[in-house]
């Protein structure tokens, strides 16, 4: 029994406490916003409690995951790829559930949350990409055509699988951003980025010209450039979101008092507790409340990148860069969507939007970063709890 107690204590003592505090603070802030955004409908009023339960599960997993050396998984990378593939393929079974046109969730009987496989798989995708990048001995070898082909092949495999199975363009786009951040950090020559931009631009132009005018993806992009294009149709969600943000002003209309957030009909502000929770925050807490949201998320991202800078090996460093890039992409895309400058693609705001599996996955992600931070310390520092708890400058 004492051995188990010592193991638990070691997990708590060695974890990155600053990162955990930032995550919990953001999560609690998000639960408060979810509580306000779900009061209008009785069937939604259990969501804050479910989010709280997911947070507790996530915190426990944060400590557990921080004790594992994820690099050991890469010794069995083929099994990891197979497992990820089979997990995504579950979406084509009766367990797969369609939400807003995307078959991106698994509904398991008796389980309190829907599970989004792409959310979980991207953790392993980042590790696989980091493992492949560390096999190249220098930037010159990394930038060789065959090396780039291998990297793009990994990206295409996962993005293609996700899009074909679930039509979830938002998740696929996050995978692309993770890829870009990681290959940039690894030292890929800049001419490859220029070539990629040129090819994507050319391909985008061809695809755009071939798409019919009524295509929903085309309409979602057009409405961002011309808000009068279809304000009562494809642009309705973002029109209401923009109205909520503008009406909040500097300090907002007051917590639990937002005119659109508290309205008794769903069309007042769609997905106000999920994709558009930033808009809910803006109306009730104003610019100041939104600034706190951004600062908390920025602090978490900076912490991930800091851990990347002190990691003991390039694999661990690239994993942290990938997770930091993932957060940057999700935050930027979600807020851009709420501000009506980017199309709606179903990207949630990390730690704030409602979603049990998303919250648990984020804590697992941060637990991996915490474990990397722990293993980056020299042995003499690990043996001094007072320093780990913030007793000196090395606690950072």
Residue-level pLDDT at 389: 33
Model pLDDT, residue 3:
65
Number of Cβ within a 10 Å radius of residue 12: 13
Query: Which pair of structure tokens corresponds to residue 133?
Result: 């990048």
Q: Which of 31, 37, 105 is nearest to 241 (CA)?
A: 37
The whole domain housing 277 covers 2-395
pLDDT at 108: 80
- pLDDT over 90, % of the chain: 60
Q: Are 66 and 11 in contact (CB under 8 A)?
A: yes
Higher pLDDT, 100 or 132: 132
Q: Please give the pLDDT value at position 251.
A: 93
Residue 385: pLDDT band (50, 70, 90) is very low
Stretch 194-199: mean pLDDT, rounded?
92
| Residue 15 confidence (pLDDT) | 82
pTM: 0.89
| Residue 243 pLDDT exceeds 60 | yes
Q: Is the pLDDT of residue 26 over 60?
A: yes
Distances in Å between the Cα of 371 and the Cα atoms of 19, 33, 120 are: 11, 30, 18
Other Cβ atoms less than 10 A from the Cβ of 57: the count is 17
pLDDT tens-digit series, residues 283-312: 999 999 999 999 999 999 999 999 999 998
Task: Report pLDDT for 13.
Answer: 76
**Whether the predicted pLDDT of 394 surpasses 60:** no
What pLDDT score was predicted for residue 207?
85
Lookup result for tokens 């984020």: 362
Q: What is the pLDDT of residue 102?
A: 73
Say if CB 182 and CB 175 are below 8 A apart.
no
Taken in order 81, 82, 83, 88, the sign of the CA dihedral is positive
Rounded to 10°, the helix 169-186/145-166 angle is 160
Q: What is the model's pLDDT at position 7? A: 65
- Mean pLDDT is lowest, of 36-40, 172-176, 196-200, 224-228, for 224-228
Give the range with max mean pLDDT: 40-44, 54-58, 91-95, 211-215.
54-58
Dump pLDDT digits (tens) for 351-383. Answer: 999 988 899 999 999 999 999 998 775 554 444
Distances (CA, A) of 392 to 352, 388, 395: 32, 8, 6
More confident residue, 50 or 96: 50
Q: What is the pLDDT of residues 109-142, one digit of tens each?
A: 877 778 888 899 999 999 999 999 999 878 889 9
Q: Phi and psi for 149 in degrees, rounded to 5?
A: -60, -40
**Mean local confidence (pLDDT), 38-52:** 92
Q: How far apart are the first and last CA of the chain?
A: 32
Mean pLDDT of the 29-33 span: 97
Per-residue confidence band for 316, with pLDDT thresholds at 50, 70 and 90 = very high
Q: pLDDT averaged over the chain?
A: 87
pLDDT confidence bin for 395, thresholds 50/70/90: very low
pLDDT at residue 387, as a whole number: 37
Quote the tokens at residue 372: 């990397």
Tell me the average pLDDT across 60-76. Answer: 88
Greater confidence (100 vs 90) lies with: 90
Helix/strand/coil (H, E, C) string of the chain? CHHHHHHHHHHHHHCCHHHHHHHHHHHHHHHHHHHHHHCCCHHHCCHHHHHHHHHHHHHHHHHHHCCCCHHHHHHHHHHHHHHHHHHHHHHHCCCEEEECCEEEEECCCCCCCCECHHHHHHHHHHHHHHHHHCCCCCHHHHCCHHHHHHHHHHHHHHHHHHHHHHCCHHHHHHHHHHHHHHHHHHCCCHHHHHHHHHHHHHHHHHHHHHCCCCCHHHHHHHHHHCCCCCCCCCCHHHHHHHHHHHHHCCCCCCCCCCCCCCCCCHHHCCCCCCCCHHHHHHHHHHHHHHHHHHHHHHHHHHHHHHHHHHCCCHHHHHHHHHHHHHHHHHHHHHHHHHCCCCCCCCCCCCCCCCCHHHHHHHHHHHHHHHHHHHHCCCHHHHCCHHHHHHHCHHHC
Q: pLDDT tens across 136-192, in order?
A: 878 889 999 999 999 999 999 999 999 888 878 888 999 999 999 999 999 999 999
- What pLDDT is attached to residue 68? 85
* 377 against 335, higher pLDDT: 335
Domains of the chain: total: 1
Q: Report which of residues 92 and 6 the model is more confident about.
A: 92
Higher per-residue confidence, 77 vs 108: 77
């Amino acid at each position: 029994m004492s051995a188990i107690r010592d193991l638990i204590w070691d997990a708590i003592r060695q974890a990155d406490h600053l990162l955990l505090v930032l995550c919990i603070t953001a999560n609690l802030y998000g639960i408060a916003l979810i509580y306000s955004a779900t009061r209008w409908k009785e069937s939604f009023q259990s969501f804050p409690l479910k989010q709280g339960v997911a947070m507790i599960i996530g915190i426990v997993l944060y400590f557990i995951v921080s004790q594992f050396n994820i690099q050991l998984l890469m010794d069995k990378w083929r099994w990891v790829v197979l497992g990820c593939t089979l997990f995504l393929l579950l979406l084509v079974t009766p367990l797969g559930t369609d939400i807003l046109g995307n078959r991106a969730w698994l509904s398991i009987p008796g389980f309190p949350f829907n599970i989004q496989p792409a959310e979980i798989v991207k953790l392993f995708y980042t590790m696989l990409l980091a493992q492949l990048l560390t096999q190249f001995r220098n930037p010159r070898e990394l930038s060789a055509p065959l090396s780039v082909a291998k990297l793009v092949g990994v990206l295409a495999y996962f993005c293609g699988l996700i899009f074909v199975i679930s039509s979830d363009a938002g998740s696929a786009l996050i995978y692309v951003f993770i890829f870009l951040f990681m290959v940039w950090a690894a030292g890929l020559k800049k001419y490859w980025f220029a070539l990629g931009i040129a090819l994507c631009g050319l391909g985008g132009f061809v695809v755009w010209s071939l798409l019919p005018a009524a295509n929903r993806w085309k309409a979602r992009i057009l409405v961002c450039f011309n808000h009068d294009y279809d304000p009562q149709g494809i642009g309705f969600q973002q029109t209401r979101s923009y109205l909520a943000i503008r009406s909040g002003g500097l300090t907002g209309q007051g917590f639990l008092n937002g005119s659109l957030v508290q309205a008794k009909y769903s069309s007042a502000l769609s997905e106000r507790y999920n994709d558009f929770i930033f808009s809910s925050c803006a109306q009730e807490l104003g610019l100041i409340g939104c600034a706190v949201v951004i600062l908390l998320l920025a602090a978490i991202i900076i912490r991930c990148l800091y851990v990347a800078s002190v990691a003991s090996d390039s694999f661990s460093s690239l994993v942290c860069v990938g997770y930091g890039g993932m957060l940057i992409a999700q935050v930027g895309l979600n807020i851009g969507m709420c501000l009506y400058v980017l199309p709606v693609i179903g990207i949630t705001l990390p730690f704030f939007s409602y979603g049990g599996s998303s919250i648990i996955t984020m804590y697992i992600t941060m637990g991996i970063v915490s474990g990397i931070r722990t293993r980056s310390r020299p042995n003499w520092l690990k043996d001094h709890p007072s320093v780990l708890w913030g007793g000196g400058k090395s606690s950072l």
